[in-house]
Amino acid sequence: MMMNQVRMYAASILGILTKYLEDIQLSELIQELLSLASSPSWPFRHGSVLAISSMIHHNPSPVCLSSSFSSILTTLRTLLKDEKFPLRESSTKALGWLLLYQTQRDHFDPVLNKDVLSLLVFSSTHDDSSEVRRRSLSAIKAVAKSSPPAIMSNVTITGPALAECLKDGNMPVRIAAERCALTCLPLTKGTLTAIFGLCVSCGEELQ
Domain ranges (residues) in the chain: 117-207
User: Which of 13-17, 70-74, 95-99, 106-110 is predicted with the least confidence, judged by mean pLDDT?
Assistant: 106-110
**CA 43 to CA 109: how far, in whole Å?**
33
Task: State the DSSP string of 116-163.
Answer: HHHHHHHHHHH-S-HHHHHHHHHHHHHHHHH-HHHHHTTHHHHHHHHH
Helix H segments across 18-84?
Answer: 23-36, 42-58, 60-65, 69-79
Q: How far is it, in rounded angstroms, from Cα 162 to Cα 184?
A: 10
Mean pLDDT for the stretch of residues 136-165: 92
What region, left, alpha or beta, does residue 201 occupy, with left being phi > 0 and alpha being psi -120 to 50 degrees?
alpha
Residue 82 reports pLDDT greater than 80: yes
Separation of alpha carbons 72 and 78, rounded Å: 10
Q: Answer yes or no: is pLDDT of 111 > 70.
A: yes
Three-state DSSP at 88 gives helix
d(Cα 91, Cα 16) in Å, to the nearest integer?
18
- Give the residue-averaged pLDDT of 14-37: 95
pLDDT category at 51 given cuts 50, 70, 90 is very high
Considering only 88-92, 136-140, 192-196, which range has the smallest mean pLDDT? 192-196
